[in-house]
């Protein structure tokens, strides 16, 4: 019996001790009309060996050679030590560290993680993680609405330069609490939030504004100007940031006159595999004044009764298992193992290593764009400075080109036609530190050939 | 004591194998760049490996200890699940990769949807919720959407039993609902008379865990279903305790309209020190149009994504992509290893282990919270008598168990039972392990009479003794500061790397 250790004699001895004849009798409180007769639709068991073969065959089908896809999930090199350590059973199979004395390993890791995220974002306090970047943004918005008592509107400005899936998630999670999303248009030339459109809201009651850095087009926003606008109009500023970019870029805690109130984002670039979109982790940090409005777990440093340093979950009165319907969020399970991996990743990279990764991403994308600019009919859409993504316009159908490329084992980027139809045949490309100069050349040649093939067809 | 990773550092030290070479000039505006590098550790690779290996050794885990944590289903996490989910084609698959190069992954996910339908008796499943609490959010949001879609905007009350997980009322509130608490009778079943009085034209639905968090099967489920449906409300099944009935009872047959499944409980994906989980949701026909997107459909021999463009009434997305895909793959592997016969055995042996433990602990002198009831896959002890006689509390008992090499059961939950321990052994533990646990519990019980202070002083064998939680909250210290650590600190000129 897979994963059930009982021998027949164990089972019989246990039944005797309980005082029943058979296992069925243990279910005698369940009304008989609800007893089901076997499970229909579950295949027969496979041995580990048989399943290994099946899974290898299926995973091999999805293997590609070269990818230039980004849009919220990024390919980075992950040092071997990250997952070698993170999948140790002591991390992998531990529970939430409610029993602090039996969980000092996990608790110290989270404390170290909180320190690193606070420093990367330039803020005071980080929680122990949320599910992913999109749900972290939803929680940041709910938090902002609780904090900003000067505003009554529950209207939140979210630029159209925020990933459309994130906007969708924010809507699903916050809609029933009366939060209204107002979308800000972008400047057609720069690809940044339109500052004149922003100014139009100067005399309206706005609770919070989301500032993406970088935005969905890979373009850097005018973060100082927007943060200043928020301060001037009693609007709470929420930064939505890429943590690898923060190795290079100004942290949100230093935007504008004295930084944003809350920062959040997708933690995946910090050592988490692409893995079809999850598990990733969302990070969330804020100024100390707002710590009691922070959702999710938080680890604090303290001492034990002998004065030894130790770590424990703290300010739990914010959480659902204590405060129930008055909690800051319903979140319970978060993304603990991903946090462990990210903490190991950040430790291995260190301040210099992370900056160099960010620099390489930036430079590789710059070089990719210059390769692409050499192809007839291919142009970069926006003029704004970018980090590690760019929007290209193709002379033919993006969809058709991507199909040709994927037959050659190349994922050419993310098509923007369904999210931003106004951009025409637009393609979002990304090159990280994982791409060599040869990779860029190969992609350049392949794109040229694919465009030719599509235009001839 | 293991220092913090930051304290192990030395200015200028790097894990050189991960330091890329410089890139020269970049064309980014100065005001967009950092002036100082972030405060990350400056350590070698060996420092990192040793530090995090040492820290891991301070943890209890399933791989090292018996973990009878009620309501958490800490069963063995088969290693194959991790190995197969991390195969390169799965590990490196971009979430937006085209369908034509994703058929391997999508086939697994489609089959997982189908298997979850089979074990829950529901008609459709969405895999996207990223944890149980998000599954709850999905469920209650669907219930709200259903009522609004039927022109009923007054149904904003969610009924929650007083024994429920804290996530239930917290979720109801996040969905803009108010919570009506349903009392429990002394025998552990909910109070039907109170339920009759609670339901009405404002009832959106009820959230129910069955078996309940009290470790007993709710025998009046049919009457509850009739009362709630009769009043126009819908029934939400909290799948936290699905392990107790896996292969025995289908929630769909009990009349539930929507269910979330904690894959990190019943389907054995790792808890990871607090996550990731996965809270897939299943629905009956009533709520099918509202399922969160995306999900996978089959067209001929191909698998395709379906989103809001096809399902216009969907409550929308709950995660940026499709949820915790890697967790879903692990659950898929687990289900294929168990197969039909293995899955039907889960509830049998989880229930056998729980009833055996309950019977044996009763015989060595513990009081059961519901002595007349069968255990489900878990049961509740109350130490009210011991607390009164010797001052030894459920907390003290929990800590003493750590010294005996066992993780503590869930303590002080459910909230309505004083000094309680909620014990869930799971089906993957052997009789020998259970017997050792019983012996340890008996030993501690005996010691409460002989030397209660020794129990109150526990634990003594863990890396730290009991922690000062008041200090943790009052003198809040949630990050390390370099200020009093000479030789480390901010790198002022990032260009001089």
Inter-chain contact A169–B317, Cβ cutoff 8 Å? yes
| A348-381 pLDDT, tens digit each | 999 999 999 999 999 999 999 999 999 999 999 9
| A297-328 pLDDT, tens digit each | 999 999 999 999 999 999 998 888 888 888 99
B127: preceding bond cis by omega (within 30 degrees): no
pLDDT band at B25 (very low <50, low <70, confident <90, very high): confident
DSSP B104-117: HHHHHHHHHHHHHH
In sequence order, the 6+-apart residues with CB closer than 8 A to the CB of A88 are B53, B56
Asked if the model's pLDDT at residue A131 lies above 70, the reply is yes
Query: What is d(CA A70, CA A242) in angstroms, rounded to the nearest whole number?
Result: 12
Nearest to A278 among B130, B217, B465 (CB): B130
What pLDDT is recorded for position B81? 97
| B416-451 pLDDT, tens digit each | 999 999 999 999 999 999 999 999 999 999 999 999
What are the residues facing B304 on neighbouring strands? B297
Closest C-alpha to A271, from A55, A84, A134: A84
Q: Tokens 């390919």 belong to which residue? A: A75
Nearest to B76 among A3, A73, A278 (CB): A3
| A101-127 pLDDT, tens digit each | 999 999 999 999 999 999 999 999 999
**What are the angstrom distances between the C-alpha of A210 and each of A151, A244, A257?**
16, 19, 17
Distance between A361 CA and the closest CA of chain B, angstroms: 10
CA A391 to chain centre: 21
What are the chain B neighbours of A349 within 8 Å (beta carbons)? 15, 18, 40
Nearest to A51 among B166, B250, B336 (CB): B336
Inter-chain contact B316–A279, Cβ cutoff 8 Å? no
What are the chain A neighbours of B220 within 8 Å (beta carbons)? none
What pLDDT is recorded for position B109? 98
Closest C-alpha to B242, from B138, B331, B146, B181: B331
Asked if the model's pLDDT at residue B490 lies above 80, the reply is no
B49 with A81: CB under 8 angstroms?
yes
Q: Tokens 């050189």 belong to which residue? A: B16
DSSP B417: S
At residue B445, the 3 state secondary structure works out as: helix
In chain B, what are the domain boundaries? Answer: 80-338, 344-474
**What kind of fold does domain B344-474 have according to CATH?**
3.90.1150
Q: Tokens 């002890």 belong to which residue? A: B381
Instruction: Tell me the H-state helices in B231-324.
Output: none
Neighbour-count burial of B12, counting CB atoms closer than 10 A to its CB (0-12 exposed, 13-18 middle, 19+ buried):
exposed
Inter-chain contact B274–A250, Cβ cutoff 8 Å? no
Tokens describing residue B386:
């011991």
Higher pLDDT: B24 or B179? It is B179
Asked if the model's pLDDT at residue B484 lies above 80, the reply is no
Distant-in-sequence contacts of A420-425, Cβ < 8 A, 24+ apart:
A423/A381, A423/A391, A423/A393, A424/A393, A425/A393, A425/A394, A425/A395, A425/A396, A425/A397, A425/A398
Inter-chain contact B275–A309, Cβ cutoff 8 Å? no
Neighbour-count burial of B416, counting CB atoms closer than 10 A to its CB (0-12 exposed, 13-18 middle, 19+ buried):
middle
Residues 205-244 of B with CB under 8 A from A: 216-217, 219, 221-222
Q: Does B301 touch chain A (CB under 8 A)?
A: no
Distance between A106 CA and the closest CA of chain B, angstroms: 6
Inter-chain contact A79–B32, Cβ cutoff 8 Å? no
pLDDT band at A37 (very low <50, low <70, confident <90, very high): confident
DSSP B149: H
DSSP B62: T
Domains annotated on chain A, with CATH: 66-76+351-456 (3.90.1150.10), 80-344 (3.40.640.10)
pLDDT band at B495 (very low <50, low <70, confident <90, very high): low
A124 with A309: CB under 8 angstroms?
no
Asked if the model's pLDDT at residue A100 lies above 90, the reply is yes
What are the chain A neighbours of B95 within 8 Å (beta carbons)? 72-73, 274, 276-278
- Nearest chain B residue to A17, by CA: B356
CATH of B80-338, one of 1.10.3470.10, 3.40.640.10, 2.30.130.10, 3.40.50.620: 3.40.640.10
Task: Give me the mean pLDDT over the B192-207 stretch.
Answer: 98
At residue B297, the 3 state secondary structure works out as: strand
pLDDT band at B161 (very low <50, low <70, confident <90, very high): very high
Task: Output the CA torsion A189→A195→A200→A204 (10° steps).
Answer: 140
Inter-chain contact A324–B14, Cβ cutoff 8 Å? no
Asked if the model's pLDDT at residue A94 lies above 80, the reply is yes
What pLDDT is recorded for position B497? 52
Inter-chain contact B115–A41, Cβ cutoff 8 Å? yes
Query: What is d(CA B462, CA B59) in angstroms, rounded to the nearest whole number?
Result: 9
Neighbour-count burial of B76, counting CB atoms closer than 10 A to its CB (0-12 exposed, 13-18 middle, 19+ buried):
middle
Tokens describing residue A92:
């992998």
Inter-chain contact A73–B23, Cβ cutoff 8 Å? no
Provide, rounded to the nearest whole percent, the portion of chain B with pLDDT above 90. 93
pLDDT band at B486 (very low <50, low <70, confident <90, very high): low
What are the chain A neighbours of B205 within 8 Å (beta carbons)? none
What are the chain A neighbours of B247 within 8 Å (beta carbons)? 36, 38-39
Q: How far apart are the first and last CA of chain B?
A: 33
Inter-chain contact B104–A61, Cβ cutoff 8 Å? yes
Asked if the model's pLDDT at residue A192 lies above 60, the reply is yes
Pairs across A and B, CB distance < 8 A: 695
- Nearest chain A residue to B291, by CA: A172
- ipTM over cut 0.95: yes
Higher pLDDT: B397 or B36? It is B397
Dihedral sign for Cα atoms in the order A371, A374, A377, A381:
positive
| B235-269 pLDDT, tens digit each | 999 999 999 999 999 999 999 999 999 999 999 99
pLDDT band at B485 (very low <50, low <70, confident <90, very high): low
């Amino acid at each position: 019996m897979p994963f059930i250790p009982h021998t027949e004699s164990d089972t019989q001895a246990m039944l005797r001790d309980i005082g029943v004849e058979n296992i069925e009798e243990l279910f005698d409180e369940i009304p008989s009309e609800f007893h089901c007769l076997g499970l229909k639709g579950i295949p027969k068991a496979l041995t580990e060996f048989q399943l290994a073969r099946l899974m290898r065959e299926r995973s091999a089908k999805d293997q590609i050679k070269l990818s230039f896809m980004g849009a919220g999930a990024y390919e980075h090199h992950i040092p071997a030590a990250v997952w070698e350590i993170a999948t140790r059973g002591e991390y992998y199979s531990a529970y939430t560290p409610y029993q602090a004395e039996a969980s000092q390993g996990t608790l110290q890791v989270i404390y170290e993680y909180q320190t690193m995220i606070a420093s990367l974002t330039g803020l005071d306090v980080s929680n122990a993680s949320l599910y992913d970047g999109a749900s972290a943004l939803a929680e940041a918005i709910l938090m902002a609405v609780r904090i900003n008592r000067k505003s009554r509107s529950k209207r939140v400005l979210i630029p159209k330069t925020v990933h459309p899936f994130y906007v969708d998630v924010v809507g699903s999670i916050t809609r029933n609490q009366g939060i209204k999303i107002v979308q800000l248009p972008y400047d057609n030339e720069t690809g940044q939030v339109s500052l004149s459109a922003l100014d139009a809201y100067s005399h309206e009651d706005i609770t919070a504004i989301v500032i993406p850095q970088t935005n969905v087009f890979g373009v850097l926003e005018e973060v100082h100007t927007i943060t200043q606008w928020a301060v001037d109009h009693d609007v709470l500023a929420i930064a939505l940031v890429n943590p690898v970019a923060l190795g290079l870029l100004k942290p949100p805690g230093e935007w504008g006159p004295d930084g944003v109130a809350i920062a959040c984002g997708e933690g995946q670039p910090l050592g988490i595999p692409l893995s079809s979109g999850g598990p990733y982790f969302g990070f969330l940090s804020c100024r100390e004044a707002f710590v009691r409005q922070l959702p999710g777990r938080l680890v604090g440093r303290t001492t034990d009764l002998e004065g030894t340093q130790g770590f424990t979950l703290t300010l739990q009165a914010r959480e659902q298992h204590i405060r129930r319907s008055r909690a800051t969020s319903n979140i319970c399970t978060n993304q603990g193992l991903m946090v462990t991996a990210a903490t190991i990743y950040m430790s291995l990279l260190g301040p210099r290593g992370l900056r160099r990764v960010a620099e390489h991403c930036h430079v590789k994308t710059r070089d990719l764009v210059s390769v692409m600019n050499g192809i007839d009919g291919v142009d970069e859409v926006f003029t704004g400075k970018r980090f590690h993504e760019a929007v290209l316009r193709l002379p033919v159908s993006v969809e058709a080109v991507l199909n040709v490329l994927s037959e050659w084992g190349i994922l050419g980027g993310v098509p923007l036609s369904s999210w931003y139809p106004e951009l025409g045949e637009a393609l979002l490309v990304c090159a990280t530190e994982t791409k060599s100069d040869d990779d860029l050349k190969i992609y350049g040649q392949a794109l040229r050939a694919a465009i030719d093939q599509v235009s001839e067809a | 004591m293991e220092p913090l990773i930051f304290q192990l550092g030395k200015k200028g030290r790097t894990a050189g194998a991960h330091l890329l070479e410089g890139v020269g000039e970049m064309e980014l505006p100065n005001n967009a760049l950092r002036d100082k590098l972030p405060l990350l550790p400056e350590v070698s690779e060996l420092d990192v490996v040793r530090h995090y290996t040492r820290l891991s050794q301070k943890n209890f885990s399933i791989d090292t200890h018996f973990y009878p944590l009620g309501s958490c289903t800490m069963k063995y996490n088969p290693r194959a699940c991790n190995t197969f989910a991390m195969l390169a084609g799965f590990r490196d698959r971009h979430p937006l990769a085209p369908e034509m190069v994703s058929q391997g992954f999508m086939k697994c996910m489609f089959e997982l949807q189908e298997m979850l339908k089979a074990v829950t008796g529901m008609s459709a499943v969405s895999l996207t919720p990223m944890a149980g609490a998000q599954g709850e959010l999905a469920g209650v949001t669907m219930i709200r959407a259903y009522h609004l879609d039927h022109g009923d905007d007054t149904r904003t009350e969610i009924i929650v039993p007083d024994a429920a997980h804290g996530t239930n009322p917290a979720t109801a509130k996040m969905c803009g609902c108010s919570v009506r608490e349903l009392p429990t009778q002394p025998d552990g079943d909910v109070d039907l008379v109170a339920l009759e009085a609670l339901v009405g034209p404002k009832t959106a639905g009820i959230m129910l865990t069955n078996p309940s968090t009290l470790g007993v099967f709710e025998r009046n489920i049919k009457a509850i279903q009739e009362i709630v449906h009769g009043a126009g409300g819908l029934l939400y099944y909290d799948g936290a305790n699905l392990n107790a009935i896996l292969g025995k009872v289908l929630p769909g047959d009990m009349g539930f309209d929507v269910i979330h499944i904690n894959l990190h409980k019943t389907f054995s994906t790792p808890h990871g020190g607090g996550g990731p989980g996965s809270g897939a949701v299943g629905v009956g026909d009533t709520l099918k149009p509202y399922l969160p997107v995306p999900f996978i459909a089959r067209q001929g021999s191909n698998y395709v994504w379906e989103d809001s463009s096809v399902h216009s009434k969907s409550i929308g997305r709950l995660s940026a992509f499709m949820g915790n895909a890697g967790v879903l793959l692990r659950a898929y592997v687990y289900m294929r290893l168990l197969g039909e016969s293995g899955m039907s055995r889960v509830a049998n042996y989880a229930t056998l282990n729980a009833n055996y433990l309950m019977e044996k602990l009763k015989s060595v002198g513990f009081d059961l919270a519901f002595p007349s009831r069968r255990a489900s896959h878990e049961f509740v002890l109350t130490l009210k008598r011991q607390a009164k006689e010797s001052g030894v509390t459920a907390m003290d008992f929990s800590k003493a168990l750590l010294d005996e090499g066992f993780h503590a059961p869930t303590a002080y939950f459910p909230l309505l039972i004083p000094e309680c321990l909620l014990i869930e052994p799971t089906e993957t533990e052997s009789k020998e392990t259970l017997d050792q646990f019983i012996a340890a519990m008996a030993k501690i019980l005996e010691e409460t009479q002989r030397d209660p202070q020794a129990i109150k002083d526990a634990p003594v064998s863990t890396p730290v003794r009991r922690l000062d939680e008041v200090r943790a909250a009052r003198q809040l210290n949630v990050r390390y500061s370099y200020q009093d650590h000479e030789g480390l600190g901010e790198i002022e000129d990032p260009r001089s790397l």
